[in-house]
Each structure stands twice: as C-alpha cells, then as structure tokens.
C-alpha cells in the first residue's frame, strides 16, 4: 500500500504527484525542486515520531494538539526556512494511497499571519482524540504498543532517515562535531539545516557500534547479502571503515601491508560514500527496516563506484525489505538502476536464473513492480518509466547527451563551411 505525496506551488515545485513506495529515484536539474520533494517526504514520514515523543512526555504544558502543532511548525521552519510562497501553496501526504482518510494536509496560504495550518484525515483525528482523552496516557501503554499503534495508523513501520548531500564536509570535521554540537546555543543549532543536523546526530550515535571487534564480526558474517554489501563497500572505498579510540579511519592493503588513514584525510569520494555504506551495514546487521532518503549518492565517485553503491543500496533494500528514495543528477545512477531492473525482469523467467546469477548476483536484482522514477523540471514532476519495458526511458537518459551531440554537429558543420 504505497504512500503518496502531492505538492502545489511550494518553492520551485509548481505541481508534484509522486508515489512513495519501494525504491524511488528522482532526477532533474539543479534547483528544480528535488530536495524540496525529498524533505517534504521526510517531514511527513516523521510526524509519527513527533506524536510518539509527545505521548510519552509527562511534562507537557498546554494541550497535546497545541504542542504537536508547535512541534511541527518548528520542524517545518527548520527544514525549509521561511520560503516565499504562492497563496495557493499546499502539501498533502497520503499514508495509504487507497484510503482517502489517511492523510495530513499542510496549508501555507497565509504563512506570515497564520504560518501553519494542518488538517488530518479521520483516522489520525481519532488517534489524537484517543491520546488526548487519556489521563497520563503515556503510562497506560507500553512504548512498544504505542509504536505499533502509530505504525498501523500511519501505515509505516519504517524508521525514516535522511542522508544529505555534502557528506564530505561532515567526514572532514568528524573530530570537531561533538564539541561543536555540545557548545552551540539553541539559536546557533537552528542555523544548521534540520536534516543535516539529524544526520550528524545519527552518525555520532552509530559510530561507537563500529568498534574493531564488532566490525570484524560484520566482515566475517556468513550472511551472503551482508557480505556482498561489505564487498561492494570495500571495492568502492578501497578500504575497511574502523572506529576505535574515538577515531574514524579507513584501513587498506598496499604492497601487501596494512595501511591506515584517518577519515578527515581520505579522498572526497571516500568521505562522501563512507557513511552511506556504514548506515547500510548498521541497519542490515541489526535487522532494522528503514526508509532512507539519500541525496546524490554519486557525489565525487567514479562511474563504476556509483554502480557499486547502487548495487549495495538495492541489495540492502532486498534483504531487509527496506525502502529508499534517491535524488540524483547522474545518468550513471539511472543506467545502473536500468541494469538491475533488467536483471529483475529476466530473473522472473526460471530458465534465465542460473546463468543470470553468474552475470549479476541475485541479491541485486530489482523488481520493476517496486521501482519508481521521476524527473522534476520546469516546476513539474513526471514519471520517466517506460511502461512497456518496465525500465527508465532510454530517451531520458540520452537527452543531455543528445543536446551535446547536436552542439558538436553544429560546430563540425561550421568548421567545414570555413574550410570551404
């Protein structure tokens, strides 16, 4: 049961209708609205987390509903800032595409005078009514039961994480980040993009998990899909990630000797990719389902490394039944998905399966039924899936190259005229 988002006249997005299910890729030019869509999805999918935190908080001042509204407004402003808005700006998120009652609607028609107006479908209204009607409600239910209830109502049992672009800067400053976050005033923390701040907090929380002994157990795991993700990680990074003695490092073999380099001295490609792989490793080893939003996984990576990273993300999603949304500028990322989609399509035919696994591991086959691809340009979002082939339309992949070829042909023709 897919989630679904609609955005009207918000930022660079004039109109957007996107299925949020399985594995989704969103491409388009810079500043076209890809991050706006991705952050809106993150905002809506983490509303249940805000409700959970409030429901177990015994120190609320004021009504539950007012506290929730203030929390959502605070988060919204910290994700998007204070945008210039069209009077008809609206965002609506359906948590079950087939159920018109399971939505949250954000109206921004008068953002400065009345900055945030949220309405909800009847299912969520009933949930909030139940919470507010209970005395000391948080004590009446175990947190596990509360989480299960929220997962059921929101049709979402995934932990949602956001992996922003610009990860190399975070890797570069990894030693300074704990001190910076601990000493910053609240007003200074607000100046850090909300999604980036949450990502930093997540890496700091997960980092100690990668002690030397724990990491070795992961690398030596007998689980084929975990091994494959690790192999793809090491192939892309050219090294193993280690965390010990409060230091992050990459260990690699050179001239038959073990060498080590601290993460802040690694290449920009390694710094960008390492925490994508680390989080895949962590959540896979822990057996947790996540909905991950990954901005520009291709950053600073060679095309072959981009393919390896897409294989790792697909393997992770297949193994854990996790979901992901990826924003990208890279035609190599799109063609990588097409390879995996074609493998998934061929893999449904039994006579191909044995030989196909020799070409590409089964763990990376991508089922076309759970894949979506969109392009965001000129304010509009449209699907770029070829429905007949169940793959990304090749014309979309070739569009940029075709424009470059046209320019080259014109210049070539001009040179021939001059030669005459």
pLDDT digits (tens, 9 = 90+) for 8-23: 999 899 999 999 999 9
pLDDT confidence of 33, banded at 50, 70, 90? very high
pLDDT confidence of 114, banded at 50, 70, 90? very low
Question: Helix crossing, 350-359 with 331-346: angle to 10°?
Answer: 140
Burial class (CB in 10 A: 0-12, 13-18, 19+), 82: exposed
Condensed to tens digits (0 to 9), the pLDDT of residues 145-187 reads: 788 888 888 999 999 999 999 999 888 888 888 878 878 887 7
The runs of H, that is alpha helices, within 267-330 are 268-285, 303-320
Distance CA 294, CA 325 (A): 6
Assign 3-state DSSP to the chain and report helix, strand, coil percentages, each to 5.
Answer: 50, 20, 30
Question: Helix crossing, 47-55 with 64-80: angle to 10°?
Answer: 140
Instruction: Say if pTM beats, i.e. exceeds, 0.95.
Output: no
The candidate with the shortest Cα–Cα distance to 99, out of 1, 209, 223, is 1
Condensed to tens digits (0 to 9), the pLDDT of residues 222-272 reads: 677 788 888 899 999 999 998 988 889 998 867 666 788 999 999 999 999
Distance CA 398, CA 201 (A): 39
pLDDT confidence of 414, banded at 50, 70, 90? confident
Instruction: Answer for the pair 343, 364: CB distance below 8 angstroms, yes or no.
Output: yes
What residue segments make up the domains of the chain, in order of their start?
3-169+288-419
| 106: three-class secondary structure by DSSP | strand
Distance CA 314, CA 324 (A): 9
| Helix or strand run (H / E) with residue 4 | strand 3-10
């Amino acid at each position: 049961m897919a989630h679904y988002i609609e955005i009207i006249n918000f930022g660079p997005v004039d109109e957007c209708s996107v299925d949020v299910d399985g594995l989704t890729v969103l491409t388009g030019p810079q500043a076209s609205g890809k991050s706006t869509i991705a952050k809106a999805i993150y905002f809506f999918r983490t509303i249940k987390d805000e409700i959970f935190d409030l429901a177990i908080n015994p120190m609320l001042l004021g009504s539950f509903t007012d506290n929730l509204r203030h929390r959502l407004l605070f988060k919204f402003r910290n994700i998007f800032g204070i945008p210039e808005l069209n009077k008809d700006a609206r965002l609506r998120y359906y948590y079950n595409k087939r159920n018109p009652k399971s939505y949250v609607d954000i109206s921004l028609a008068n953002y400065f005078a009345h900055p945030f107006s949220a309405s909800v479908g009847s299912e969520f209204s009933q949930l909030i009514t139940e919470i507010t009607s209970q005395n000391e409600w948080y004590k009446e239910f175990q947190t596990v039961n509360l989480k299960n209830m929220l997962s059921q109502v929101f049709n979402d049992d995934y932990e949602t994480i956001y992996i922003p672009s610009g990860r190399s800067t975070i890797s570069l400053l990894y030693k300074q980040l704990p001190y910076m976050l601990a000493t910053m005033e609240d007003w200074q923390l607000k100046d850090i993009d909300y999604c980036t701040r949450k990502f930093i907090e997540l890496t700091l929380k997960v980092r100690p998990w990668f002690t030397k002994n724990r990491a070795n157990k992961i690398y030596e795991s007998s689980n084929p899909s975990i091994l494959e993700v690790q192999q793809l990680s090491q192939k892309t990074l050219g090294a193993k990630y280690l965390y010990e003695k409060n230091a992050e490092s990459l260990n690699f073999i050179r001239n038959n000797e073990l060498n080590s380099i601290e993460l802040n001295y690694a290449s920009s490609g390694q710094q960008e990719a390492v925490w994508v792989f680390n989080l895949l490793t962590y959540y896979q080893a822990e057996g947790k389902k996540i909905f991950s939003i990954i901005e520009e996984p291709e950053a600073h990576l060679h095309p072959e490394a981009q393919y390896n990273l897409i294989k790792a993300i697909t393997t992770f999603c297949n193994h854990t039944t996790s979901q992901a949304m990826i924003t990208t500028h890279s035609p190599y990322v799109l063609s990588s998905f097409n390879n995996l989609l074609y493998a998934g399509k061929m893999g449904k035919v039994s006579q191909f399966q044995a030989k196909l696994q020799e070409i590409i591991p089964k763990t990376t086959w991508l089922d076309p039924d759970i894949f979506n691809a969109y392009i965001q340009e000129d304010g509009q979002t449209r699907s770029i899936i070829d429905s007949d082939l169940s793959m990304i339309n090749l014309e979309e992949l070739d569009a940029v190259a075709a424009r470059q070829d046209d320019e080259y042909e014109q210049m070539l023709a001009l040179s021939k005229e001059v030669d005459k």
